Structure 1
């Protein structure tokens, strides 16, 4: 990987653009607890300032991470077809959530019933979880029913009249509004759980529940990022041609 490519994104570039162009940097943002999905439009330097981090050090770490990654074999979603990107989101992220959210919901309900009185924050964590769970399930349903078919039609060269453009813009705007609520609920759940830290007297299921919540939350952030920083901007670009 050339130095010119590494240096192509300055500190003023958005966090979302960093992960869109260099997926390996997601691990750095995860480690630093910088949100690259719902806050993906925020410039890197602003995200650093808000988190008390030195911009030059974070920028250097990101460049080092890209250099160390070398030639990776991940799909370049910035240039893959829109249809393939929709398929990826639907068959990977949607499928995972459909399979795991019922399990997590049941596990959390059991843990809250057992430990809710002695650990009051659990009920708060559960409420925030249910908020983003219901929001993302609703967004997924709309995407599979209406948005993704319309995007596939757009790419296939179907009608691109004013009606389709207006419909796509309206659906994307609605999903983005939904993403804002999801982002807030994710942050609130993480805060209420003290970054998914199980208390010292937690039973194995309590710790397992927090581990599953952390894992699913991580995938949700990857999921939202692919839509906010890659899919939606590329659809808007196609509509402007």
Structure 2
């Protein structure tokens, strides 16, 4: 039986055992932006019995094989994030914006929150588009370069870019929380039309993908990059 500890951080748990993400999602425990919390702290915040939840996590690990994403090189991890998560956002954000606008126009008089929902989707998309560009055009090329050679100027740029990306991830987390609140946990009312239901299903998928996306960057990619930077600094200094 795998032995986990209540002092383990939730980000590290999902980093080492990606299949646990589904359980954290169900429990509404933030393992991406809130990944530095210990399991005990996260359970206390959600009013969950920590020992019971710990046993559920251990049982899930025993029954699910783990992909080796944590073992990917820096370049391979960057490629994975771009091809899986960036591609998803570039495909889905325009669709979700259009659906949110339509639902707000048709049903906004019945539920005023739909106007706020639409505005939040638009604002989130407006934040994510330049965020992806900064990653693809500034940070990710430097991370690929870092595996090949070390340059002090690139070191400073990478460190500053990582700090910026982490701050923007926090803003994304706030927007996702607002979407969940405005939609009653992405639960459609009985009178919801099919477009409304499809929108909420799409926003739930967006939340899940962004949680995985941010987790892979905050808890896998960035620590791996920082560790490599430190190793290369030491190598250059010796």
Which TM-score band (shorter chain)?
over 0.9
Aligned to 2:222: 232
Of 7, 15, 23, 1:12 maps to: 7
The correspondence of residues 134-153 of structure 1 with structure 2, limited to 5 A, is 134-153=126-145
Residue 104 (structure 1) aligned with residue 96 (structure 2): yes
Q: SS where residue 11 of structure 1 aligns?
A: coil
* Alignment deviations for residues 177-228 of structure 1 (CA, whole Å, 9 cap, x no partner): 0001000110011011110111111111111111111112211111111000
Q: SS where residue 136 of structure 2 aligns?
A: helix
Distance apart, 1:92 and its partner CA: 0.7
Distance apart, 1:148 and its partner CA: 0.5
Of 49, 54, 71, 2:49 maps to: 54
User: Structure 1: how far apart are the matches of 2:9 and 2:121?
Assistant: 27
Q: SS where residue 78 of structure 1 aligns?
A: helix
Of 85, 92, 112, 1:120 maps to: 112
Deviation beyond 4 Å, 4+ runs, structure 1: none
Residue 178 (structure 1) aligned with residue 168 (structure 2): yes
* Alignment deviations for residues 16-46 of structure 1 (CA, whole Å, 9 cap, x no partner): 1111000010011011111111111111110
Of 52, 60, 64, 2:59 maps to: 64
Aligned to 2:181: 191
Task: Please give the TM-score of this superposition, normalised by the length of structure 2.
Answer: 0.94
Count of residues paired in the alignment: 231
Q: Is the contact between residue 100 and residue 117 of structure 2 (CA under 8 Å) also seen in structure 1?
A: no
Q: Is the contact between residue 129 and residue 186 of structure 1 (CA under 8 Å) also seen in structure 2?
A: no
User: Structure 2: how far apart are the matches of 1:164 and 1:223?
Assistant: 24
Q: Is the contact between residue 86 and residue 148 of structure 1 (CA under 8 Å) also seen in structure 2?
A: yes
Distance apart, 1:103 and its partner CA: 0.9
Task: Please give the TM-score of this superposition, normalised by the length of structure 1.
Answer: 0.93
Of 28, 31, 37, 2:26 maps to: 31
Distance apart, 1:133 and its partner CA: 1.9
Q: Is the contact between residue 14 and residue 20 of structure 2 (CA under 8 Å) also seen in structure 1?
A: yes
